[in-house]
Chain A
Amino acid sequence: MTFQEIIFTLKSFWSAKGCVSLEPYDYPVGAATFHPSTFLRALGPEPWKAVYVQPCRRPTDGRYGENPNRLQHYYQLQALLKPSPDNIQDLYIESLQALGVERNKNDIKFVDDNWESPSLGAAGVGWEVWLNGMEISQFTYFQQVGGIDCKPVSGELTYGLERIAMHLQSVDNLYDIKWNNDITYGEIYLQNEEENSKYNFELVEPKIFIKLFDDMEKECINLIEESLPIPAYDLLLQNSHSLNLLDSRQAISSTERQAYILRLRKLSSLIAKKYLENREKINFPLIKN
């Protein structure tokens, strides 16, 4: 199964289970959880089911294209089910079977791994899913988002697409993954990894991003005061990425980093609160019947 077929299969699998099929978010993010379809929609009482692919940027994970298993830009596919259905684990296994992963021929383990995102004020309980020892998914029950308790609880299933493709195609190096039958992952992204690793580790100009962070934070607070949490959230995403760049460039100490994270956390709490208020004002329209 090619990389693109994996995406098609999972998207149609979850669409058939009632998920809205969405597209990637157009801001840089470190994980699919940052997509507003997860962060914002997980808040409040409204039900929500969505599936989407999200390209993710993690500057510190760059390896100049030299490591067979690590990338600073990669893809996650995410299904968010709110409230989490009772058979969510079975559905997940079923989705793997749709990819041709036979349950009784592969060792699938759910390894205890509680998730926390300090900058999003979010925490969840869940697992890493291991397929023959390789972590291919994160499975999380959100307990808190933006500092607010989740009621109902969302179940988040995040697939590491490259890892799954490596397994299905039996390749040892992710650059050898067949994107389709003619072209490999490496042919599309190797140069991207080389150039971005060089930039992230060596050439990021800290001054720019430190100033950008301050400016965006101000703008973000203004927007929250204007009761516009959705655009405010975009600016938070921008700041989260700036922080990641400062981090990969080793431009800030661990204390400074901690202080930046606290600033993000403050913003995300304010945004979550405001978003919930706005939804309440329009009577939580997704609650039907």
Chain B
Amino acid sequence: MAKKNLLFEIGTEDLPSKNLRIFSEKIKNNIEENLKKNGINYSVLKNYYTNIRLIFIVVSIDEEIIIEKKIIKGPPVEKCFDELGEPTKTALGFAKKYQAGLDDLSQKIIDNKKYLFYEKPQSIIKTQDMLSKILEKSLGDIEGQKKMRWGSSSILFIRPIRWMLLLLEDKHIETSILGVKTTNYTYGDKANSNNKIIVNSIDKYFESLKKEKIQIDQNKRSDIIKKNIATIVTDHQYDNKIDSELLDEVANMAEYPYVYTGRFPDEYLELPDEVLSYVIQDTQKYFMLYKDKKITNSFIGTSNVKINKNIITGNERVINPRLDDARFFISKDLNNSIFEKKDLLKKIIFHKKLGSMFDKVERISELSEYINNKSYRDKKLKHKEIAAVCKLDLISHMVVEIPSLQGYIGCYYAHKKGMHEDVANGIKEHYAPRNPEEEIPKSIDAQIVSIADKLDTIVGIFLINEKPTGTRDPLGIRRATNGLLRIMLKTNHRIDLADLINASYGIITKNPNILKDSENILPECNSFFKEKLFLIFKENYGFKDNVISSVIDNKNINPYDMMKKIEAIDSILENHEYDELFSNAKRVTNILKKSSGALSLNIKENLLRESSEIILYDTINNIKDELNSLLEEHSYLDYLQKLNILNVCVKTFFEEVMINVDDQDIKLNRLSLLNITNNYYNNLANIAILGH
């Protein structure tokens, strides 16, 4: 069958550079799916994009699809003709459905009954006739992307569509997609020629764009920028460090990128690094240049047109006042001594149902103290000092102007004011980890405050019943939860999260002004954390589901301890020496599950009759002190090793001892012995679920 290439180019006004890749991929997936649904074969679908183009090339697409002949079974013949032999509505309906004449229908006997049959002949549909529908559906079904209208049309798309080129090899396909007529032309480089170019073949298309110096391949545009930066970096011995997210973003803002180096006065280098990177990188989209890990006063910018002096001085002219503005705010803030104006936090609302930032700070302070009392009882820790000042930069001009600088600015001001090193850094660190890449806080002091701050937010949100739904998570609960758990997984605060949730709940609800929307949130909150922990153990650490479950089912939630247990179990899971431990645990649990009546932990020694039950009892007694102390010391692998000693006794017990005996006292005694054994299995984790 004939194969051709298909080119579809949507020309738009400038597309949002950050989402461009995702957007193009989504359309690509849609086209692939819709081609498949319609049985159209092709070898590969390529997608390219620039700031004003979305391009899709389907290589070796079937020119037509053949729908094979098909035999269709109809209604029974007896229902199809009346007494006079005239066709009934049933027969006519069947024929009409397949656009067949009555003469085209045949009859056949199946299982002693006659039926009408229609043999639908082979048919051929041209791919080009189906394209409009397929492409329209592919452009329409894009979730999660804000769309817009323009002019008088009611079309919805990410940005206004200005042309739509559709070529099947060397043939323009005239049709309309989303109400836009397809064209046989494209446009050249907007910045230079803005030519309308008639293209009558796909080869001509590539040739024309090349002549216009348009690079439609996003990866090649990124490479151009990368190469240019690399040259500058080597020539001037800058650190080799390029922000890859920014690289993609600026590559998406051009049809062909040019690169230059600009400078700003080095007096601004005294500004905090975060301020510099916010201005240079986040707002102006320049690459920062470092030497020995220090920001320099040089930056790299990208342009849509060839570089000339005006472009460089123009860009340099922008960055100075922005940095100057930052300096203005900082000097204003430093004169303002924000750390002495705690009352101003009353004006900043944390959440309308959970009070002001002032209220929150008081709660953080109290919860931090609780953590310290439970885990450290260390009077030298600075958590109270950190808690007292950690939110005060929210009243500074700099943070009001640029909220993402919270924490960093407070830390900078605290250093300037000569505060204790740990306190100053604690202001910055108590927000950590802000994202999956960031480290957890370094000092114990900041860890405590970070846990308290995050937990207060999460428990508060459960209280007022505003848990995150779908994409809506205004207070960043997901981020806070992940951050909190990461800290608790990596640091041994010897504190149970369930207790901590309880404490936080108590502290929040102590304030009579806080309205509870949800009663009894504690179980819900606990299971929320357990679910999150499960995901982290599974996705971040790759542990097996059943190993995680064996630990999570436990009523305590101590992430650090859970990790130690999971590691211990995981390390012996594939070791056959322990097979019997797990299967014994399973067997014991099953027997106890089936038994009715109250089990006790008291064994009446005089009722122990068989030698094997006596041996089991004695062995447990021999090792129980050791087991308990191993558990206390969190030596979980040793605990499991010790427990493994019981295997022989348990096995012989099962082989030699009848449990269901007539004497109820003996039966109960034997079950109780198993119950004690089971407790030692369960003390570490529900290892029964690991048995085969």
Contacts and interface: CB of A to CB of B under 8 A. Distances in A.
Interface of A: 63, 66-70, 83-86, 89-90, 93, 103-112, 114, 125, 127, 131-134, 141, 143, 150-153, 155, 166-167, 170, 172, 253-255
A152 B317 contact: no
Nearest to B401: A60
Contact of A134 (B148, B301, B314, B325): B314
B297 to A, nearest CB: 16
Contact of B149 (A108, A111, A153): A153
B311 A106 contact: yes
A72 to B, nearest CB: 13
Contact of A110 (B14, B321, B324): B14
A127 B52 CA distance: 13
A106 B154 CA distance: 34
Contacts of B194: 90, 103
B318 A125 contact: no
A196 B180 CA distance: 52
Contacts of B192: 103-104
B325 A104 contact: no
Given A106-B314, A107-B311, 10 more contacts: A70-B321, A70-B325, A103-B194, A103-B305, A106-B311, A111-B285, A112-B18, A133-B319, A141-B160, A153-B149
B253 interface: yes
B151 A127 contact: no
A230 B192 CA distance: 45
Which of B150, B301, B311 has the most A CB atoms < 10 Å from its CB?
B150
**B-side binding surface: helix, strand, loop or mixed?**
loop
The 5 closest A-B pairs by CB, nearest first: A132-B314, A69-B321, A253-B347, A110-B14, A133-B315
21 contacts: A69-B322, A69-B325, A70-B321, A70-B325, A86-B162, A90-B194, A103-B191, A105-B308, A107-B311, A110-B14, A111-B17, A127-B14, A134-B315, A134-B318, A141-B149, A151-B149, A152-B151, A153-B151, A153-B152, A170-B313, A255-B352
A134 B319 CA distance: 9
A67 B324 contact: yes
Nearest to B159: A125
B304 A108 contact: yes
Interface in B301-353: 301, 303-306, 308, 310-311, 313-315, 317-322, 324-325, 328, 347-349, 352
Contacts of A254: 347-349
B321 A67 contact: yes
Interface residues on B, range: 35 or more
Contacts of A83: 151-152
A63 B303 CA distance: 31
A26 to B, nearest CB: 31
Contact of B152 (A111, A141, A152, A253): A152
A286 to B, nearest CB: 14
A67 B14 contact: no
A110 to B, nearest CB: 4
B274 interface: no
Contact of B151 (A85, A106, A109): A85
B638 interface: no
Contacts of B151: 83-86, 152-153
Contact of A107 (B13, B160, B304): B304
B272 interface: no
A258 B51 CA distance: 36
A170 B328 CA distance: 24
B614 to A, nearest CB: 73
Contacts of B51: 110
Which of A86, A110, A170 has the most B CB atoms < 10 Å from its CB?
A110
Nearest to B321: A69
B16 interface: yes
Contacts of B162: 86
A83 B160 CA distance: 13
B187 to A, nearest CB: 10
B380 interface: no
B511 interface: no
Interface string B647-670: 000000000000000000000000
Contacts of A112: 14-18
B128 to A, nearest CB: 27
B278 to A, nearest CB: 15
A255 B349 contact: yes
A143 B15 CA distance: 17
A68 B325 CA distance: 9
A182 B474 CA distance: 53
A141 B347 contact: no
Interface string B245-268: 000000001000000000000000
A69 to B, nearest CB: 3
B29 interface: no
A63 to B, nearest CB: 6
Contacts of A103: 190-192, 194, 305
Contacts of A152: 151-152
Contacts of A69: 321-322, 324-325
B189 to A, nearest CB: 9
A125 B148 contact: yes
A4 B600 CA distance: 97
